[in-house]
Structure 1
């Protein structure tokens, strides 16, 4: 597998995983997220080492997303909007700080993704690609499957 293909696969996996984390908010979201991991492990027929790497990946992403959510500049935004005239430079600075936070956490997330995907054999990689291409059904009308 070429280096570019590995990078692209890592990016796709990270986007899907982050999307899954965001989609799993609400009541019982921890249980749904855990079931999604169990489904993925069963579907890909992961061994214990691979399951541990997947668990570490999910924990890494969960930590990064939680840190991002915890650092919401809500009060700063309210203060900006309370002023008679919007301070555009301060708003842009806030946006840049948020973007930089994502850029800072990206290597950690990508390393966890690479660690997991590099542990997969060719058959498991193919199955993972199929799962990602197919997407996941939403809601109870599609059998309520976690993935």
Structure 2
């Protein structure tokens, strides 16, 4: 695997951990997947607010964090794509017959990897812009939060 692809995937996974960890610290808003656009927007707003408060972001940094949240939301919409509200049905269709539908499975995989490949540069750019705008102490606080893993909590 090429180094830039590996770094991109690690970066996207790291950002997923940050937002996933922040989500774990907040109250659950719904139990279905995928959430409606309204629920997802409300969730993003809460996460951005909490991160802004915990990292003590200024207006410019908060704008970059909002840009990152929007880029990630666009990536999520692209990944969910046509599966819509019932992704399980798409996977069940692969095993509906006597044999696994390899062609349909490959098409599904190609669509998802294509969406990831097309949207990852925007997400990485937004993540880099946000991270680079942070002061060294804010960067360290973010690294400490990520080091705690999934069950880490912001402590101030």
TM-score (norm 1): 0.69
2-side partners of 1:36 and 1:136: how far apart? 15
Question: Deviation string for 1:19-53 (max 9, x for gaps)?
Answer: 46987662666444423222211221211000000
Give the whole-Å Cα distance in 2 for the aligned partners of 1:113 and 1:56: 9
- Please tell me whether residue 15 in structure 1 is matched to residue 26 in structure 2: no
- Aligned match of 2:36: none
User: Conserved in 2, the CA contact under 8 Å of 1:10 and 1:117?
Assistant: no
1:44 aligns with: 55
* 1:60 aligns to 2:61 (yes or no): no
List per-residue Cα deviations over 1:112-147 (Å, max 9, x = no partner). Answer: 101111111211111110111124549xxx9xx8xx
Aligned counterparts of 2:125 and 2:83: Cα–Cα separation in 1: 25
- Structure 1 portions without partners, runs of 5+: none
1:31-87 CA distance string (max 9 Å, x none): 444232222112212110000000111111012112322322856545443333333
Q: 1:26 aligns with which of 30, 33, 53?
A: 30
CA RMSD of aligned residues (A): 3.4
Which stretch has the larger CA shift, 116-125 or 76-85? 76-85
- Bigger radius of gyration: 1
Change (3 A) 1:80 1:126: closer
Are 2:149 and 1:127 aligned? no
Contact 1:54–1:116 (CA under 8 A) maintained in structure 2: yes
Cα separation, 2, equivalents of 1:114 and 1:123: 17
Number of aligned residues = 135
